[in-house]
Amino acid sequence: MTALVTANDLFRRVNHVIPSIEWATMAEDVDAIQRLKRERNAVILAHNYMRPEIFHGVSDIVGDSLALAREATTVQADVIVLAGVHFMAQSAAILSPEKTVLLPRLDAGCPLVDAATVESVRLMREKEPEALFVTYINSSAEVKALSDVCCTSSNALQIVNNQPAGKKIVMLPDGNLARHTSSVTGREVIAWEGCCPVHQALTPQEVIALKQEFPEAPFAAHPECRPDVLALADFVGSTSAILKFARESGARTIIIGTEAGILDKLRKDSPDKQFVLASEALLCADMKKITLDDIEKSLITMQPAVTVSRKISRAAKKTLDRMLSLSS
């Protein structure tokens, strides 16, 4: 058996964002989590927006929604601890029904999920019976089960481009992502009128002011941003795509138009570059709810466990499997 990785060992992964004096206050929780992961044969999957002590510290696998969905299907473990929000844990439970999926905070949600209810999707299905429903992964299992295929911000363009020419498409629940996808692909898309309130809060005025302050800096934006903000972007992509763009860009300063949690990873990957957050409003409270203490308690009690009924899971899994097959 390999030696247990301790808080002292992990400090090398976090010392660029967490001072040693602060890490010392977390060491007891970190060591407990490391022991519990081994005892439970558990892995921690963490989204790019997580707190640094989780993302850079105790996590085993990190990434955006697409990456985490893929990893959930292949990870060798009995237990998945999802450090993210509820729909991500549901997706992991659907894709790996044989595993126990823990979400340390059940109240870590996503407002986009609430923008598309089962009732509203059924009504749209009745109104557009010939349409193909492309549903953002930021949705409930029940809504996925009523859909034809899922997508993420990483693969939305690819998913839509893979649909039959001339086929009417309804894209939900993020209207900004739908409009961006339509504008890039040239496909006619009926956009659901939901939005991420964090990305929606970024205004073109804020971006213009920063472009004036940093005239040589490209602006990289997430497609959940509003259209008048995306119109100012030099690059539009998912969190993983923004990370890749930043690594490969020759620019010394880059303006970032997505949730603030990505900044630590950007600075670690490219310590010689300056990253400027486009707005102080780009902070998702739900993505910051899970703490080390929550993860430790979850691994001790094996709760809260996220489950999806067999009927819903079977139908929802088809939409996720189609997504993964089209974006492999």
The tens digit of pLDDT for each residue in 47-97 reads 999 999 999 999 999 999 889 999 999 999 999 999 999 999 999 999 999
Residues 73 and 151 occupy one common structural domain: no
The confidence band for 296, taking pLDDT boundaries of 50, 70 and 90, is very high
What size, in residues, is the chain?
A: 328
Residue-level pLDDT at 2: 72
Cβ distance 317 to 149 under 8 Å? Answer: no
pLDDT at 144 over 70: yes
**Strand ranges across the sheet with 189-191:** 149-151, 132-136, 169-172, 189-191
- Which residue among 149, 177, 195 closes a domain? 195
**Strand ranges across the sheet with 79-83:** 61-63, 42-47, 79-83, 100-102
Query: b vs e for 71-109, b when ≥16 Cβ sit within 10 Å of the residue's Cβ?
Result: bbeebebebbbbbbbbbbbbbbbbbbeebbbbbbbeebe
**Between 3 and 270, the higher pLDDT residue:** 270
Residue 185 belongs to domain with CATH number: 3.40.50.10800
The overall average pLDDT reported for the chain is 96
Residues 90 and 181 occupy one common structural domain: no
pLDDT at 28 over 90: yes
- What is the percentage of the chain residues whose pLDDT exceeds 90? 96
Query: b vs e for 47-69, b when ≥16 Cβ sit within 10 Å of the residue's Cβ?
Result: bbbbbbbbbbbbbebbbbbbbbb
Q: What is the distance between the alpha carbons of residues 217 and 291, in angstroms, rounded to a whole number?
A: 34
- Which residue among 195, 215, 245 closes a domain? 195
Nearest to 157 by CA among 178, 172, 142: 178
Residues 214 and 268 occupy one common structural domain: yes
Structure tokens at 240: 């993983």
User: 142 lies in a domain?
Assistant: yes
Nearest to 61 by CA among 50, 110, 328: 50
Average pLDDT (160-180) is 96
Question: For residue range 89-133, what is the model confidence (pLDDT) as tens digits?
Answer: 999 999 999 999 999 999 999 999 999 999 999 999 999 999 999
Cβ distance 61 to 75 under 8 Å? Answer: yes
The reported pTM is 0.93
User: 309 lies in a domain?
Assistant: no
User: 315 lies in a domain?
Assistant: no
- Which residue among 195, 217, 240 closes a domain? 195
The domain total for the chain is 3
Residue-level pLDDT at 66: 85
The confidence band for 30, taking pLDDT boundaries of 50, 70 and 90, is very high
Residue-level pLDDT at 146: 98
Residues 29 and 95 occupy one common structural domain: yes
For the chain, how are helix, strand and coil distributed in percent, rounded to 5? 50, 15, 35
Residues 138 and 99 occupy one common structural domain: no
User: 317 lies in a domain?
Assistant: no
Q: What is the distance between the alpha carbons of residues 165 and 148, in angstroms, rounded to a whole number?
A: 16
User: 319 lies in a domain?
Assistant: no
Reported as half-sphere exposure (CB side, CA atoms, 13 A), residue 85 has a value of 20
Residues 60 and 121 occupy one common structural domain: no
Residues 33 and 92 occupy one common structural domain: yes
Residue-level pLDDT at 328: 67
Provide the residue range defining the domain that includes 147.
112-195
pLDDT at 1 over 80: no
User: 50 lies in a domain?
Assistant: yes
User: 1 lies in a domain?
Assistant: no
